[in-house]
């Protein structure tokens, strides 16, 4: 027993010693981590002749949206999701660098730029022009420039293209797939209840081609946007008016004359200033800048590192900025989408903040739920009633529900190329009774009322149910134009004449009285400051949705499964079988069928900003 006791005592001492060692190691690791964080939080001094490198990788957005791929990084580390670049970050960096004597130039790289939009690019282009006025250059380089990339590059001081690259300008517009015959063969009937001659969302499911009204509206919109694009580029590059269109019209002949070399053609057209490989660019930047042994090249700093150095003002009066980007949906949602509850909470939070004297509501949305749109509009209206001015700044899109939410503002400012309007309402309900008959599947049962099984998509649609939905759609449209008329100080009839589901550019919307002014985000901020009687000491305070919890990520994972595994949802399987390149409306059809609401009334333009 004594031997056993000594053995147990030795084991206890060994365990206790091991515990102390482990505790000390963990403590030292924690101290080391704190020291590293403190060291990283104190960046090295920025040297003279530093180049700010704007390497725009991913989509150009108003607000970072979380994704499954960025769960650990953005959800746990509170960092922006990879793959997105916020417009506000690029603009802030350019504005700060313009007054920063340490920054001698900007290098713009866009090879990995994803989706963007004209209005967002106009904001950055304006900041680039402001930077150039200081006399400091902006150099743009690309292995090639697509249309969206070239609009920004055109505002640089110099554009260099890789000798193997090209500048590809193609104009605006698209062709849709139309599924009427395919759906008939499958035995699926699509029931559409709408108000709006130009509300063309459902045409791919009820017709085999676009209606004359849709063709007219699309041509008017795209022609105006393309004209603005060409004018912007030609002005920025000092090219003759109309030269872009003339080049595209004769492109085969011009490329043949250039020996089939698109880079040589771009240089001869003065679309670029020189042809340089990536290595040639590096040598040029070293010659014009300063050698940096740490980068084995020119002295530089990235967008992210540069922003981390900036100290933002947090004291004194503020103008709240709330970004409403994405689809408008009921309930709650995270960043990158708009929801009635979450967005209204953000507006209310800004309204109740004593530091906030005015609100700028930045909209980039094609619409969505009519109910959620009204929740947001009402909250903006309440903010106004409490004495805090509200100014709307329209981004790429402010259409349908995206226009509805703007009607609670004191002042509405649109970019000249904002796709806006689309004042119209629809509901869509597909039924597959003929498909069931062909498969030999029959249904029967007992209900207490005719409504009990009225929304069963496997049975014929009851005419009474269709009438019910159409009546509600009519009511929502009446509410839409009535509220718009009140907000715009005009009559419902005048709003109806420019509504009917038609989309306009910002310039066209201004002419038709749908917006107050044309301008950009800084114009909206200036308007808000004026309405709130603020001097130049105010600062901007962004109210973004809180970081999503685990429930959000689980829902996102479930939705990702449905998107990537259509076999889990037969309706999605049908849509993918009909055509993998189906237009955007396909997803909304399936979303509406999957919901548990009796029916869904949508204010959505189903449009995409060029």
Annotated catalytic residues are 199, 400
Q: Which residue has the tokens 């038609």?
A: 502
Instruction: Report DSSP letters for 94-161, one per residue.
Output: HHHHHT-TTEEEEEEE-TTB----HHHHHHHHHHHHHHHTTT--EEEEES-EEHHHHHHHTTSSEEEE
Helices assigned H by DSSP within 289-327: 303-308
Residues 303, 129: Cα–Cα separation, whole Å: 18
CB of 102 closer than 8 Å to CB of 45: no
Residues 299, 291: Cα–Cα separation, whole Å: 6
Q: Exposed/middle/buried for 500, CB within 10 Å: 0-12, 13-18, 19+?
A: buried
Helix or strand (DSSP H, E) at 458 = none
Return the percent helix, strand and coil in the chain, to nearest 5.
45, 20, 35
Q: Which two tokens stand for residue 573?
A: 């399987």
Q: What residues are paired with 167 via a beta bridge?
A: 145
Residues 34, 40: Cα–Cα separation, whole Å: 10
Residues 271, 190: Cα–Cα separation, whole Å: 48
Q: Which residue has the tokens 């020291």?
A: 35
Give φ, ψ of 197 to 5 degrees. Answer: -60, -35
Using DSSP, state whether 176 is helix, strand or coil.
Answer: coil
Query: For the packed helices 340-352 and 370-385, what is the interaxial angle rounded to 10 degrees?
Result: 10
CA-based angle 125:129:133, to the nearest 5?
170
Q: Which two tokens stand for residue 292?
A: 């940096």
Q: How far is CA 3 from CA 10, 15, 175, 421, 447, in A?
A: 11, 18, 89, 90, 82
Residues 118, 220: Cα–Cα separation, whole Å: 17
CB of 160 closer than 8 Å to CB of 272: yes
CB of 342 closer than 8 Å to CB of 545: yes
Q: What residues are paired with 323 via a beta bridge?
A: 362
């Amino acid at each position: 027993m004594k031997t056993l006791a000594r053995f147990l005592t030795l084991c206890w001492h060994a365990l206790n010693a091991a515990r102390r060692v482990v505790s000390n190691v963990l403590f030292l690791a924690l101290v080391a981590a704190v020291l590293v964080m403190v060291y990283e939080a104190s960046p090295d001094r920025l040297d003279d002749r530093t180049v700010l490198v704007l390497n725009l990788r991913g989509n150009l957005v108003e607000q970072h949206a979380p994704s499954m791929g960025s769960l650990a990084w953005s959800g746990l580390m509170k960092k922006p999701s990879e793959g997105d670049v916020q417009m506000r970050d690029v603009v802030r960096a350019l504005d700060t660098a313009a007054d920063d004597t340490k920054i001698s130039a900007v290098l713009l790289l866009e090879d990995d730029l994803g989706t963007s939009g004209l209005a967002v690019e106009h904001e950055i282009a304006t900041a680039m022009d402001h930077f150039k006025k200081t006399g400091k250059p902006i150099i743009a380089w690309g292995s090639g420039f697509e249309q969206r990339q070239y609009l920004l590059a055109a505002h640089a001081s110099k554009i260099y293209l890789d000798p193997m690259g090209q500048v590809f300008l193609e104009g605006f517009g698209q062709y849709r797939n139309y599924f009427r015959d395919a759906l008939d063969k499958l035995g699926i009937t699509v029931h559409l209840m709408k108000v709006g001659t130009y509300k063309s969302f459902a045409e791919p499911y009820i017709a085999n081609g676009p209606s004359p009204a849709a063709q007219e509206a699309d041509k008017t919109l795209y022609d105006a946007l393309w004209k603005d694009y060409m004018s912007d580029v030609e002005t920025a590059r000092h090219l003759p008016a109309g030269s872009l269109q003339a080049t595209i019209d004769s492109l085969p002949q011009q490329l043949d004359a250039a020996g089939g070399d698109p880079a040589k053609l771009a240089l001869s057209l003065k679309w670029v200033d020189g042809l340089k490989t990536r290595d040639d660019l590096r040598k040029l930047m070293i010659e014009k800048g300063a050698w940096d042994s740490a980068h084995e090249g020119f002295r530089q700093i990235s967008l992210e590192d540069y922003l981390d150095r900036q100290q933002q003002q947090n004291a004194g009066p503020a103008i709240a900025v709330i970004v409403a980007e994405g689809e408008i949906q009921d309930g709650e949602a995270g960043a990158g989408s708009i929801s009635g509850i979450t967005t209204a909470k953000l507006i209310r939070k800004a309204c109740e903040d004593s530091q906030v004297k005015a609100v700028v509501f930045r909209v980039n949305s094609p619409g969505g739920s009519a109910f959620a749109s009204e929740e947001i509009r009402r909250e903006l209206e309440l903010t106004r009633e409490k004495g805090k001015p509200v100014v709307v700044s329209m981004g790429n899109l402010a259409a349908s529900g995206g226009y509805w939410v703007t009607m609670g503002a004191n002042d509405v400012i649109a970019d000249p190329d904002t796709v806006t309007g689309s004042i119209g309402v629809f509901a869509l309900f597909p039924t597959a009774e003929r498909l069931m008959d062909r498969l030999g599947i029959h249904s029967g049962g007992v209900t207490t009322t005719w409504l009990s099984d009225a929304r069963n998509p496997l049975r014929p649609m009851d005419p009474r149910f269709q009438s019910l939905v159409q009546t509600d759609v009519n009511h929502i449209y009446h509410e839409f134009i009535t509220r718009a008329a009140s907000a715009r100080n005009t009559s419902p009839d005048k709003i109806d004449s420019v509504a009917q589901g038609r989309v306009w550019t910002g310039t066209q919307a201004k002419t038709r009285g749908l917006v107050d002014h044309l301008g950009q985000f800084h114009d909206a901020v200036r308007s808000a400051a004026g309405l709130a009687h603020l001097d130049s000491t105010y600062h901007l305070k962004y109210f973004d949705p809180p970081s999503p919890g685990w429930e959000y990520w689980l829902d996102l994972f479930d939705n990702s499964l449905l998107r990537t595994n259509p076999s889990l949802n037969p309706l999605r399987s049908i849509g993918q079988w009909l055509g993998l390149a189906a237009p955007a409306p396909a997803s909304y059809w399936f979303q509406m069928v999957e919901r548990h609401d009796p029916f869904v009334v949508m204010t959505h333009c189903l449009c995409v900003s060029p």
